[in-house]
Structure 1
């Protein structure tokens, strides 16, 4: 890839979650193949398609807009550098969320997170409904919901973050968590039931 292409795309990624809407006519497999050969424009299309879901995911892990933007940018920078590596057919959404999870883990392991300002801001995009379960959660106050989610086991909390904040499908969540579709359905069911009990009891 030419240095100018990388510089152009890196600058676009660094702008954070302000990407333009992706063209629904773009074939994702074709975009991935082109991006793997160094096509920065194709990667830019993938960025536009997934930036908001990755931002929602990182925001759900930090509750800080500025930090979520930084982690989202880092996720796409890592993806841009790694996408050309040889691999089997790429499930881009699951692969991207795996990178985002690692970015979040790296952040929490580092000393820099002590300097991050955690706010009580609510990202309006996190309220976009993707189903009746999220609508039910949206009716609960933000502080109460955060407190309830924090009391869930790690795997249940991760499942809800991937499904309702990152917006992944059951299949994509299964790939990201290295589980079967059936296991994710059961995990989500248990998480939602436990969350309702916690909120009701609280």
Structure 2
């Protein structure tokens, strides 16, 4: 890695890892995909135009790495997930990333059941704290889509949480 990539790694690797872990729910896979994110960062650092902040740019790379991973695993035949893919997905968030609080555990389990587009929007907006504009940039979609996906994701989460269903 060049000095700039090393700086970005030091500043943002934990955040990128957590984001990827929320998307794939497997620590070893998240570590591998985080490494792939920084390999791509190093490869394309000269193309970074600073139109967005560095973390937003890295999130976009990380998101693309996650999509490529799912495509390689043949989990995705197209983006976003269909309901069938969501039902077949069996993932477990590691205990070290969850707070001891049972409600928080239930929330993370419910997030895994969201439609992929809703999951992305909810994670970026409500967990990671990105603005609508930043989220739209990361996801490569309109701000209106981000607003709709976030709202629908929150509604679906509320229904799941109220239902008290076992999400695993």
**Cα–Cα, structure 1 residues 123 and 71, in superposed 2: closer, same or farther, change >3 Å?**
farther
Shift of 1:176: 1.0
1:176 is matched with: 138
Count of matched residue positions in the alignment of Structure 1 and Structure 2: 147
CA deviations over 1:88-141 (Å, ceiling 9, x no partner):
44423232122112211222222599xxxx6552343x66xxxxxxxxxx7525
1:47 equivalent to 2:22? Answer no
Aligned-residue Cα RMSD (Å) equals 2.9
State yes or no: 1:159 paired with 2:121.
Answer: yes
The answer to whether 1:122 aligns with 2:95 is yes
Structure 1 counterpart of 2:103, from 126, 135, 140: 140
TM-score, with structure 1 as normaliser:
0.60
Higher RCO, Cα 8 Å, sep 6+ = 2
TM-score, with structure 2 as normaliser: 0.70
Contact persistence 1:56–1:166 (CA under 8 A) = no
8 Å Cα contact 1:174-1:181 kept in structure 2: yes
Partner SS state of residue 41, structure 2: helix
Give the equivalent residue in structure 1 for 2:151. 189
- Paired residue secondary structure (2:18): helix
**Secondary structure at 1:83's aligned position in 2?**
helix
Q: How far apart are the structure 1 equivalents of 2:64 and 2:104? A: 29
Give the alignment partner of residue 55 of structure 2, picking from 74, 87, 93: 93
Larger Rg over CA atoms? 1
Change (3 A) 1:162 1:120: closer
Distance 1:183 1:76, change over 3 A: same
Matched with 2:163 is 201
Q: Which runs of 5+ in 1 are unaligned?
A: 1-8, 10-39, 128-137
